[in-house]
Amino acid sequence: MYESGLMIGHFEPLHLGQMRSILNAAGQAKNLHLVIMTHPSPHPDFKITLQDKARWLQMACADLPFIHIHTTDEIELPVHESFADVTIDITASNAKLQHLIDALNLPAETVVFVAENHPLAQSDICKQLIMQVVTTPLQPDFDSYAIARNPVAYWSALHPQARSNYTKTVAIVGGESSGKTTLVHKLANYYGASFALEMGRVYVGTDLGGTEIGLQYSDYGPIALHHAQAIRDATSIATVPVTIIDTDFVTTQAFCEEYEGRTHPFVAACIDEFRLDHTIMLDNNVPWIDDGMRSLGTPEARGRFEARLLDIFARHDIKPHMIDQPDYEARYQQALLFIDQYIYGQKP
């Protein structure tokens, strides 16, 4: 058992193979220090911060007090397709290791853990390093390079703590009786996806007694806040690379402007701060059905509300994908095509 161990990596994304290597190293050292570095060539479709990666590992190792998480943006590791492409600069490697020893105040006997096939593990190289090299077994079921290139295709390999950052939110919006909720449940069932309900409707049931007669301007802030939490909850348990959202903050703002005659600044802030990845907007060209909670059923009211939605989208520089088929099944098929193309990368 070593007194202290060190592992260094990008961990972007954190996957199960990396976690297994971490656990192997943790079994060989009384204290294991994980150093997370900024990725020099991050995936363009996902905005992952150094703090995101620290959170993943902190949460994953929360009950393993002998594992300590650190971050640095001062040292970079090269990006390569395989270890065969790597040339080791002994002087530079020793300088990086010494910097970490000093920055983390590591004991002199600290060892550095690497995979069995890592270039630092080669006998002629490891003898020249200032730290002893200890290897962890290979994880042949997990190709770190392939996972980093296409996290969506390797969803099952991602660590659960990282998945919320790799699922894309798709909001289904539209006027009253446009088929939003039914489409949300169909899409969630098709993909096996987690989803967030329309919070305005839930709020009417939980806080207003089941009807909108008591709805007022002060309610729109809590509705937006509850919706933000519902979206966070849905993405935190994401089961697939897409999370379906029933309506959005733009819709909440549109109802506020429609009923109260003014824009709600908190809702406007939510539109910008809790940005959703994609928005599918359903045209109001299907029959309007009165369910007891709807009041915008005339052609004039439906047209006005749709125009209001589009205006708010434009204000916030959001470009929704419009689905205008008047048939419910056709709308469903159009939504599937959109998600398959923009989330799963399938060609139309």
At residue 179, the pLDDT reads: 84
CA distance 151 to 60: 19
Q: How many residues does the chain have?
A: 348
Q: Is the pLDDT of residue 272 over 80?
A: yes
Q: Is the pLDDT of residue 142 over 90?
A: yes
At residue 83, the pLDDT reads: 65
Confidence of residue 291 (pLDDT cuts 50, 70, 90): low
Q: Is the pLDDT of residue 185 over 60?
A: yes
At residue 81, the pLDDT reads: 64
Instruction: Residue 331: name the closest of 281, 279, 277, 278 by CA.
Output: 281
The structural domains of the chain, ordered by start, are: 2-157 (3.40.50.620), 167-342 (3.40.50.300)
Contact yes or no for 202/231 (Cβ under 8 A): no
Strand segments (E) across 153-194? 168-174
3-state secondary structure of 14: coil
Q: How many C-beta neighbours within 10 Å does residue 132 have?
A: 13
Contact yes or no for 293/212 (Cβ under 8 A): yes
| Cα torsion through 43, 48, 50, 54, rounded to 10 | -120
Q: Is the pLDDT of residue 286 over 80?
A: no
3-state secondary structure of 7: strand
At residue 245, the pLDDT reads: 98
At residue 133, the pLDDT reads: 94
| Distance from chain centroid for Cα 305 | 31
Confidence of residue 89 (pLDDT cuts 50, 70, 90): confident
Give first-to-last CA distance, the chain, whole Å: 55
- Name the least confident of 16-20, 22-26, 78-82: 78-82
Alpha-helix runs per DSSP H in 141-243: 144-149, 180-191, 199-207, 220-236
CA distance 149 to 13: 10
Token pair recorded at residue 106: 């590591």
More confident call, 182 vs 85: 182
Confidence of residue 82 (pLDDT cuts 50, 70, 90): low
CA distance 268 to 251: 11
56-65, 86-95, 283-292: range with highest mean pLDDT: 56-65
pLDDT in tens, 317-340: 999 999 998 889 999 999 999 999
Beta bridge partners of 68: 33
Contact yes or no for 296/309 (Cβ under 8 A): no
Q: Is the pLDDT of residue 139 over 80?
A: yes
Confidence of residue 84 (pLDDT cuts 50, 70, 90): low
pLDDT in tens, 56-74: 999 999 999 999 999 998 8
More confident call, 165 vs 211: 165
